[in-house]
Structure 1
Amino acid sequence: MQPRPTDLPDLVDSHCHLDFADFQGELPDVLARATAAGVTRMVTICTRLRNEPAVRAIAETYAQVFYAAGTHPMSAAEEPLATLDQLIALTRHPKMVGIGETGLDYHYTADSKAIQQTSLRIHIQAAQETGLPLIIHARDADADVAAILTEGVREKPFSCVMHCFSSGADLARTALDLGFYLSMSGITAFPKSQPLRDIFAAAPLDRILLETDSPYLAPPPFRGRRNEPAYTAFTAKAGAAVFKVSEADFAAATTANFDRLFHKAAKAAKAA
């Protein structure tokens, strides 16, 4: 991989999974490659709360890493139900900057939709109470995701990002109307993703984030291989083409968007 030109603005990988076994023993090298590619910050996501200590330890070890925590919808039936107090307590850590990922996934786990919906509502409450952004996973559940998020905002506003957005145009419009953000992953750069690129092109640039969701979903030319935060730069290149702006402008815009949404991470980075 060629190093990213140093005259471009910094990039942020807003969603990765650095605690996964795919990165075991390699984190220093992975983070060094991210830095060389211009990815100066990242948020690693805890998907099962029993793993939160290990995820937190990564954030404590590396200055450029922040973290979020929640119960992934596909794990909702297997894990103890998170409590509001439990989630709020976790947010007291200075590097814990988001709630989730949570959401609904009916692709493989539709049989647990009731507990997924209960879990999602608890995570929404945590976002409402703490002011930290909610991180949403949505798969084959667009209508229910839209309804529950809309219901939550009507009760008490909160901020949110639709992580690795690859759903339909209706959910995108609902999310944007609620004031939420859409996160662009390597899927956006796949050759057959033109319908998804069209959805992003219809969104305001000031509501777009970048992510890898690594170790999954590597963009071309790495598709089929392990993804890592450095590859944010390739999704950024594809995103600049979608919005018909320069790579520098796209990088600056998405980083500013990240700082606005993940305000706790922005404040910590500024104070460092």
Structure 2
Amino acid sequence: MEIANRSRLGGPVESDIKQVAPLQRTVNTLWAHLLTGADYLALPQRVVLGMDKPMRDIRDDEGNIVDEEEIPLTRFSRDRLLWLSKVGTQIAQYSAADLGNFLRVIEAAVRHIAAQTRTPPHYLLGEMSNIAADALTAAESGLVAKVVDKQIQFGADTREIMRLEALAAGDTARAESLAMGKVLWRDAQFRSEAQYADALTKYKAIGVPDEALWRMIPGVEPEQVEAWIRMRDAQAQASAQAAAAAFAEIGPKPDGGDDDTDEAEDEAA
């Protein structure tokens, strides 16, 4: 079964990367230009000015010059040696090209991709240093909202997939239960344990039941919540029994206990 992304009533589904595919192709093209420039322009280039092409004589078996031919320039690149024999010959140098222009355009394109896809820029650019917690939360708010929206859209399809899996396995009872069930998602936003504890404490202060607070803790399964409820009830029962036993020790005695004491005091007198 297909999980439809950004489904529409009047048209087919649409991919999240469709709108940024042209920008990604632009980034790929710029990277290709950058690598090509790195091959030819990243280092200073030296050139010989005012010199004829290097030639060598061709001799016959008797040592007579019969012709001449060019010396391959690759030999000078390999041997790292060149004689400048002509008067006025000089060496010039071309400076290396600034490839940073490509990087700045690529970075701007990546920022546009991050903005259009609601992806935090530091996820793509790796720029993250001395960022406050509130600023980091604000930077990720767009992505969190996008994930929450996806959870709403994907919930019904995910439930249907699980129902079909139960039918394929022959478990009709579980399939019927899943048809009426609800998909539970984890919190889309990452929070530290201290942040969760602070939030749950504030919810507790306004009267939210313990069971509801336990279900809000990330990673806690419903079975674990049920176990905590049984443990809490058992602890409360044990505390009540202990309090009752202590009250029986220090509380008023049953009827008749005082009369026996009075009789014992009279006999002693």
User: Per the shorter chain, which TM-score range?
Assistant: under 0.3
Bigger radius of gyration among the two: 2
Greater strand share, structure number: 1
TM-score normalised over the length of structure 1: 0.18
TM-score normalised over the length of structure 2: 0.18
Q: Does 1 or 2 have the higher relative contact order (CA < 8 Å, sep 6+)?
A: 1
Greater helix share, structure number: 2
